[in-house]
Structures are given as structure tokens and as C-alpha cells.
Amino acid sequence: MPQETGDRAALLARAQEWLAEDPDLDTRKELAGLIAEGATEALAGRFAGTLQFGTAGLRGEMGAGPARMNRAVVIRAAAGLSAYLAARSPGLVVIGYDARHKSADFARDTAAVVTGAGLRAALLPRPLPTPVLAFAIRHLGAVAGVAVTASHNPPRDNGYKVYLGDGSQIVPPADAEIAAGIAAVGPLHTVPRAEEGWEVLGEDIVDAYLARTDAALSAGSPRTTTAVYTPMHGVGRSVLTAAFTRAGFPAPVEVAEQAEPDPDFPTVAFPNPEEPGAMDLAFATARATEPRPDLVIANDPDADRCAVGVPDAGADGGWRMLRGDELGALLAAHLVRQGVRGTFAASIVSSSLTGKIASAAGLPYQETLTGFKWLARVPGLAFGYEEALGYCVDPDGVRDKDGITAALRVAELAASLKAEDRTLTDLLDDLAVTHGLHATDQLSVRVADLTLITDAMRRLRTAPPAELAGLPVAAAEDLGRGTETLPPTDGLRYTLSGAGDITSARVIVRPSGTEPKIKCYLEVIIPAPARSALPTARARATAVLTRLKEDLARHAGL
């Protein structure tokens, strides 16, 4: 009992200390209420350590305390970043933000801290897609950039994504060095914050980005694609519609219920096109649109990801969403056909089909760790993607995933095929016949208790499966040790031997870098010597992928 009383007193003292310097009225009110109630469990969650730099910065639930996203945490992050830059490359820092709760406040706080540190700061003119921020860094010759966004996370979250002057997200050792700078920040009142002196950029930065998206397309390509579009309550609408109009495509039909930015994302459980049900309104709009549109296009809330739906008579409702790997292969094939040269790349969790497309075209191919912070750094990059709907189709313009320019390139491809009386699914069939059917799927488990992820990874490391879905495990790699071509990362890779009609299969298991999920990425390769063989191959692949998920869940204890 004395120890418990002492722990409670220490927790309340920490909360009072935080309250005394919290600059935000909303979180002060929240924290004062919890202290008054003696809500130790809620307080313990907010003061259980500090929110750590993860995938390119910070991301987490909003609220009071060091383990939440709030103005105090953002001010410290901005101070640590400013100290890092002042010691190495002082100059301009560009700051963008989305339409989530507190995003504009976090952006202004960052500008105030950067300016107070003696650096130059420039805010984007309004809530805009993250790709506009990534473009602006290089376009303006900045030394760094900050995007205040939680991308496709739930409404309660926000985030702080950091870029350096090459326009790509931070990687080691910069992340650790910035984190050390944040840890060295003293009391909040010691952080200099300017009241003015930063620049607010004009709409000309958006115009420059739009000019770049237009230039990324092939001159003279047809522009006839019709589309239904949803920004999923995010900030993509004005920029994507302007990009389509500027390029000469018909203006997309908007999903009215999701057209305006809304930080509460009222029509979806999770504002991520990959999540079940997220595309329902978009497909309903497509079914109600006459004549039938060629595509359904969706961005996530900060518009750095792109999802595409296609007409499919065999699908429920007549439409289906392409998997991220399918769209990646289509874009790779299109860019090859357009004569794009350079290195093609995909992350380790993505399909191996892009590598085969590049090889057949005599182009180099590179595999990277998950995340565009790695893909963007591939030397000579011409195209990079990962299966989570992220595509970099113009690395000289945006050295990151870009859901706006990717949507334009998909529309260009669809129009080119349409001129030949063909569709995206026809091209997918061609690729399957040429290179084998590369069927992919994912087992994704969201958890409330992060120890479940740790326990699952431990089980798989200590007792790796000898076979999965009846296929022998030919190689089991702990990616935490790194490989000849990849730095260490928390993940496991199983290469499965082929059997019967299956050429090979692959499984990768890893914790998500942005959400409380464990993810298992699956690929099965089956030869399909003719189009007539594809239905049987797809049915067989579906059965194997289902068994893989069942076996993995059992071995991992999920």
C-alpha cells in the first residue's frame, strides 16, 4: 500500500507539473479534470513514457501528457528539430498541415519555434495534401519540411512527419539525432517562440505543384477517362480536381458525403481506403452515375495514397477495388510502355511482380524496407511503390508517395487502354499470363494491447513454422538481423517452396509502423500459360492464401 500511494502521488505530481506549462486550453481543461477526479488509470496512460519518433516522426492519439499528441509535445519536437538543423544546415523550413483537429495549431506552433530558433519558416497557405509539402521542400530549396498529419489513422490521432532537404522522409541516424534534440529540451518556457516573422506562402506554390503533375504525364496521351472520386473527408479534393481539369480529363464525379474536409470522418470507421466499408459510398456513387464511369478513385485524408476501383461484373455491386499490388504492377507496366527509364523499386512487403516487369524491360530493380523514407532514396529511382496504396511516379517532382500524381497516371493508363477497347483488368490478365499469376493478400490484426504484437513476434521467432498451407518453409529469415541488402528491421520473412501447380510463395510478418496492428503480407505465384487458365489459377491462389492466413494466425497465437 505505501508503494502504491507513493506511485499515485508521483503520477499526480507529474501531471500537475505538465499542467503548469501546458499552452493549450483544451488539454489543460482535460488534464485538470482528470487530476480533480483522481483518474490514475487515465493519467497513467498519458504519462507512460513519451511519444517516440517512429515512421518519419511522431504519430499518436491526441490528448494531454507526454504520451499523447498535443501542443506541448509538438513545441518540443519543433525545438529538437530546430536545434538539429541549426547545427547542420540552417535555412528554410516549410510546414504543411491537413484538416485534422489541432493540425493548424501544431503547424503554427512549429513556425513559431523554428522562427524563434533563428531559422526561416514558411507555412503552406491552407490545409493541403502531404505531396504538396514534399514538393515544396525541393521547389523552394528548403533544408527541411514538416507535415502535420496522421494520414489514414482514426480521427482521435494526429502526427508530425519530418522531411529533410532532399524532399524525402527522415531515416537513421537523423531520426535518432532529432529525438536526442527533443529529449534535451528543457522546460517549455525556455523554448523561444516568435509571435510573428514566418511567411505564409501563397497559392502559387499549389500552382507550381499542379504544373509539375501535368508535366509528369506523357505528351499527347489520351485524356478521356471518367471517374468517381472521394477524398475521404480529407484535403485532396481541390488539388486533385484541379489537376484533372488542368490535364484535360473530365472533372471527376465527387462522392458528396465525403467531399468536404471533416476531422471526425463521420461516414467511415477508419479513413483508409483499404479498410472494409471505406469505399462503399464511392462504389454506390459509381453505380448511380450514368454513363458508367471508367474508374473509382480515392485518396486517403492527406492524399498521399491512391486507391482505384474498377468495374467487375463478378464482384458484389459490379465494382471491386484493386489491391495495392495490382495497381503497382499496372503503373510499372504503363511507365515501361511510356519509355520511362531508371530504377524500379518496391518494398519487401510488396509483390515481386514489379521486379519481373522491370527485368523484362531491361531495367534495374531494387527491394527496400517498408516505407517511402527508404524507397525515395533508391539511386536513379524512376518508380517506387508499396502495397499499402503508396506510389511514387514522379520522383524528380515529389520524392515520396503522391496520391494525386498517381491518380493522374492511372487515368492516363485507363484512357490509353480505352482507346484500344481494353481495360485495366485486361492488362492485369496480360501480366499474369506473361509473368505468372502473382496473387497477394494480407492478414492484418488491430490490437488494443501492444503486448499481443510482441508476443506474436516472439512465438514466431522461437518456434518458426516448418510449413504453411502445406508448403515447406525453405527459408526463415529474421529481418531484425538485417540481410546483405537490407538494414535491420523488426520483421520475419518465410520463403515457401513450390508444390504441384504453385511456383513459390512468400510470407512477411511485421508490426505496423503507424498503427497498433500486426501485419502479415502473403504472395502466391502460379503459372497461367493462357487466359483460359486464369480462373482456375485465381481460385487455387485464393484457397492457398486463405490457408496461409489460418496457419499464420495459429502459429502466432492471433
Q: Are 515 and 157 in contact (CB under 8 A)?
A: no
Residue that the C-alpha cell 465527387 belongs to: 254
Distance, CA of 554 to CA of 70 (rounded, Å): 39
pLDDT computed for residue 120 by the predictor: 98
Could you tell me where in the chain the CATH 3.40.120.10 domains are found? 49-204, 224-432
**What's the whole-model pTM score?**
0.95
For the question of residue 151 being annotated catalytic, the response is yes
Look up the CATH architecture of domain 224-432.
3-Layer(aba) Sandwich (3.40)
Record the cell numbers describing residue 209, joined without a space.
505543384
485 burial type by CB count under 10 A (0-12 exposed, 13-18 middle, 19+ buried) = exposed
Distance, CA of 412 to CA of 222 (rounded, Å): 7
pLDDT computed for residue 1 by the predictor: 41
| Selected catalytic residue, list 82, 103, 151, 416 | 151
pLDDT computed for residue 54 by the predictor: 60
pLDDT computed for residue 314 by the predictor: 85
> Rounded to whole angstroms, what are the CA distances from 471 to 40, 466, 502, 526, 535?
50, 9, 9, 13, 22
Fold of the domain built from segment(s) 436-556: TATA-Binding Protein (3.30.310)
Using 70 as the pLDDT threshold, list the residues of the chain that sit under it: 1-6, 54-56
CATH class of residue range 49-204: alpha beta
Could you tell me where in the chain the CATH 3.30.310.50 domains are found? 436-556
Q: Helix, strand, coil proportions of the chain in percent (round to 5)?
A: 40, 20, 35
